[in-house]
């Protein structure tokens, strides 16, 4: 179609202005988001199952058997979403050999921001001494990190940014009903971050980087996992409500679909996957996903036993841990998947 005849409301196809130097054609743009570094932060205070069982009608045996969780980290008042996110992001940037000047954008996935605004991302931008670029928060509950990876990938592929900090930071202890044994034993606080940089591009031979991300949501299922209030509502700050069995059922089915979708989109099969880095909600769900991929448990990164469910922070924390201890090595293929309130779910494939 000729640009001049494009009907109203339809974007004309991309055209380079006549005389534009060939070196500026899209083929010369960076095409991949490479993982440069990761980092994490966990609150100082550890709360064991036995500590919860001392004040709730629950037991270490029940929690371990149903979830695989042994303990969780709980934030002190000074360990805010901003503070923890900044610590994780600072570590990711340093680990990736970057400085403040290399960051064009910050995307923070969180359902528990300290304030309605300024965005957590902008507060972190300031704390890290980043005086340019932009930052914003993204709300997709436990799928937040996968969503943020998807957005960062798009920013980098389109040339809007060359360095992006993707951060998951959560203080779920604020939105839990500590009398409700069916939810409060499941979650913990923490933050994880990844520093992504543009790589590849015209003529580049690398097959490293984010291969693809796959995002989904279905509002019809919003009520099976929700928070009945909002930041800043003094009358109704909100607590987390969950129909655990229903969420469990959807988690296994939807994440399995998202995993297949990611592999198919890249012409890969289960046997190509080196590592599964799943959202850490329940060891039974994680084991089911690992079995489905035919991966031995040594190839599945698990932190839920020590961190519990840290929502949008769980995947970057797990990724940071397995990269730091040398389990995940350069060149390996990492599959990430998550499901959370919304419902939201998705997957991402990354060659480290
Ligand atoms: O990150 C977002 C995604 N979230 C998830 O993926 C969570 C998905 N769901 C789950 O992980 C599981 O459904 C739970 C761990 C939440 C619950 O495990 P379950 O095997 O589905 O247990 P249930 O809800 O069917 O409850 C079994 C029993 C119930 O008692 P009755 O009705 O059978 O007498 C509960 O009242 O266990 C009881 N129960 C507890 N007992 C001791 C529930 N919570 C507790 C508890 N301690 N903390």
Total Cβ atoms within 10 A of residue 333: 18
CA distance 39 to 316: 8
CA distance 347 to 273: 13
Options 73, 214, 279, 307, the catalytic residue: 279
Options 142, 214, 250, 307, the catalytic residue: 142
Kindly list the structural domains of the chain, giving each domain's residue range(s) and its CATH number in brackets, ordered by start.
Answer: 10-201 (3.40.47.10), 208-351 (3.40.47.10)
Percentage of the chain modeled with pLDDT above 90: 86
pLDDT at 39 over 80: yes
| Cα 37 to ligand 1 centre (Å) | 36
Residue 5 confidence (pLDDT): 39
Which of 66, 242, 286, 310, when mutated, tests ligand 1's pocket best, judged by the most ligand atoms within 8 Å of its CB? 66
pLDDT at 314 over 50: yes
The response to whether residue 243 sits with its C-beta less than 6 Å from ligand 1 reads: no
Residue 73 designated active-site: no
The response to whether residue 238 sits with its C-beta less than 6 Å from ligand 1 reads: no
Residue 206 confidence (pLDDT): 60
Indicate which residue's Cα is closest to atom 2 of ligand 1: 340
pTM, entire model: 0.91
The arithmetic mean of pLDDT across residues 230-255, rounded, is 90
Q: What is the per-residue pLDDT across 250-288, written as a single tens digit (0 to 9) for each?
A: 999 999 999 999 999 999 999 999 999 999 999 999 999
The response to whether residue 62 sits with its C-beta less than 6 Å from ligand 1 reads: yes
Residue 142 designated active-site: yes
The response to whether residue 317 sits with its C-beta less than 6 Å from ligand 1 reads: no
Q: Per residue in 272-298, is it b (16+ CB within 10 Å) or e — as a string? A: ebbbbbbbbbbbebbebbbeebebeee
Q: What is the mean pLDDT of the chain?
A: 91
Q: What is the per-residue pLDDT across 139-170, written as a single tens digit (0 to 9) for each?
A: 999 999 999 999 999 999 999 999 999 999 99
Q: In Å, what is the CA distance from 31 to each residue of 23, 195, 198, 207?
A: 15, 16, 7, 11
Atom number in ligand 1 closest to CA 185: 48
Residue 6 confidence (pLDDT): 40
Q: What is the per-residue pLDDT across 96-111, written as a single tens digit (0 to 9) for each?
A: 999 999 999 999 999 9
Indicate which residue's Cα is closest to atom 20 of ligand 1: 66
Total Cβ atoms within 10 A of residue 19: 5
pLDDT tier at 201, thresholds 50, 70, 90: low
Backbone angles phi, psi at 75, to 5 degrees: -70, 140
Options 49, 95, 282, 309, the catalytic residue: 309
The response to whether residue 92 sits with its C-beta less than 6 Å from ligand 1 reads: no
Residue 237 confidence (pLDDT): 81
Residue appearing with tokens 């309605």: 116
């Amino acid at each position: 179609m000729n640009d001049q005849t494009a009907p109203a409301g339809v974007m004309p196809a991309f055209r380079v202005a006549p005389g534009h130097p060939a070196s500026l054609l899209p083929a010369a743009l960076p095409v991949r988001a490479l993982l440069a570094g990761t980092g994490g932060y966990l609150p100082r205070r550890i709360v064991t199952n036995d500590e919860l069982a001392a004040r709730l009608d629950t037991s270490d045996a029940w929690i371990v058997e149903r979830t695989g969780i042994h303990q969780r980290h709980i934030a002190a008042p000074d360990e805010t979403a901003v503070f923890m996110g900044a610590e994780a992001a600072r570590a990711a940037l340093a680990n990736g050999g970057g400085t403040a000047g290399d960051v064009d954008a910050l995307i923070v996935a969180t359902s528990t921001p300290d304030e309605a605004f300024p965005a957590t991302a902008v507060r972190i931008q300031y704390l890290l001494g980043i005086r340019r670029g932009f930052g914003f928060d993204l709300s997709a509950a436990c799928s937040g990190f996968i969503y943020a990876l998807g957005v960062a990938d798009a920013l980098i592929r389109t040339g809007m940014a060359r360095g992006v900090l993707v951060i998951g930071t959560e203080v779920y202890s604020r939105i839990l009903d500590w009398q409700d044994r069916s939810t409060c034993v499941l979650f913990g606080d923490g933050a994880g971050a990844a520093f992504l940089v543009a790589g590849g591009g015209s003529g580049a031979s690398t097959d490293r980087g984010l291969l693809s991300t796959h995002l989904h949501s279905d509002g019809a299922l919003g009520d099976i996992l929700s928070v009945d209030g909002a930041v800043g509502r003094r009358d109704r700050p909100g607590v987390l409500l969950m129909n655990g069995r229903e969420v469990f059922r959807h988690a296994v089915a939807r994440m399995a679909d998202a995993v297949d979708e990611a592999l198919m989109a890249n012409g890969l099969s289960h046997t190509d996957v080196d590592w599964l880095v799943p959202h850490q909600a329940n060891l039974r769900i994680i084991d089911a996903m690992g079995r489905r991929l035919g991966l031995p448990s040594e190839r599945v990164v698990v932190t839920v036993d020590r961190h519990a469910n840290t929502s949008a922070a769980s995947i970057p924390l797990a990724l940071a841990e397995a990269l730091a201890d040398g389990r995940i090595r350069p060149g390996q293929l990492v599959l990430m998947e998550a499901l959370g309130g919304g419902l939201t779910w998705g997957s991402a494939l990354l060659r480290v």
